Chains A and B, each alone.
Chain A
């Protein structure tokens, strides 16, 4: 059971727009902590995709964008491409006793 809740899977056709939600609580996202997103291609390490809610590291296409509101955040991918097929994880900081860093359970994106 992950602290942040993501849908297990989403799908879309090439060229379409998809969004992935990430729901937290008052001890993490709702407390004002930033949300970050990682992309994990099959068999590889995670890669930072979005940091600080809506900032893209150098080299990440502007097709990827993030937003945050209240206790939730979202990752949007526009102009879907076959190479976007991957697992996506949201992550934040949590001020409860159980730990500092919390992840979502991950969302498998399938490009149809």
Chain B
């Protein structure tokens, strides 16, 4: 069965960096676009970024462009989110999610989600 397991969250000081990972299993990871979505505790969902199935393209929500980098290692079936210059407002649960499309066809909606990893930015 499809499984997505995030890790790497924790408490980090403002201005520091953190890298999140999402280990995928139960499907051919290299065939699917992947996304990061975040949720401030008690609030709604916010899309962060997408990466193509082969890593050839990445797109970000404007507010995170330049600070966050999405990447993937298809040989390790793992998705990453490098977060730099973290701010208090980046405190959230970060979910990885699989795009419902296949290969080059991205559908920009999500059929499987991980359980999320909590990032707390605080001094």
* CB-based contact A100/B109 at 8 Å: no
* CB-based contact B47/A48 at 8 Å: no
* CB-based contact B100/A93 at 8 Å: no
* CB-based contact A48/B62 at 8 Å: no
* CB-based contact A89/B45 at 8 Å: yes
How many Å lie between the Cα of A47 and that of B95 in the bound state?
A: 12
* CB-based contact A45/B113 at 8 Å: yes
User: Which residue of chain A lies nearest to B106 when distances are taken between CB atoms in the complex?
Assistant: A100
User: Which residue of chain A lies nearest to B4 when distances are taken between CB atoms in the complex?
Assistant: A45
* CB-based contact B116/A103 at 8 Å: no
Q: Does A104 contact B (CB under 8 A)?
A: yes
B81-123: CB near A (< 8 Å → 1, else 0) gives 0000000000000010000100000011111111110000000
* CB-based contact A45/B115 at 8 Å: yes
Interface centre among A101, A102, A106, by most chain B C-beta atoms within 10 angstroms, is: A101
From A45, A89, A97, A99, B44 is in contact (CB under 8 Å) with: A89
User: Which residue of chain A lies nearest to B65 when distances are taken between CB atoms in the complex?
Assistant: A99
Q: Does B50 contact A (CB under 8 A)?
A: yes
Q: Does B27 contact A (CB under 8 A)?
A: no
**Which residues on A sit within 8 Å (CB–CB) of B73?**
none
Which residues of A approach B to under 8 Å, CB–CB? Answer: 2, 34, 36, 38, 44-48, 51, 57, 89, 91, 93, 97-106
The 4 closest A-B pairs by CB, nearest first: A101-B47, A45-B113, A99-B61, A36-B109
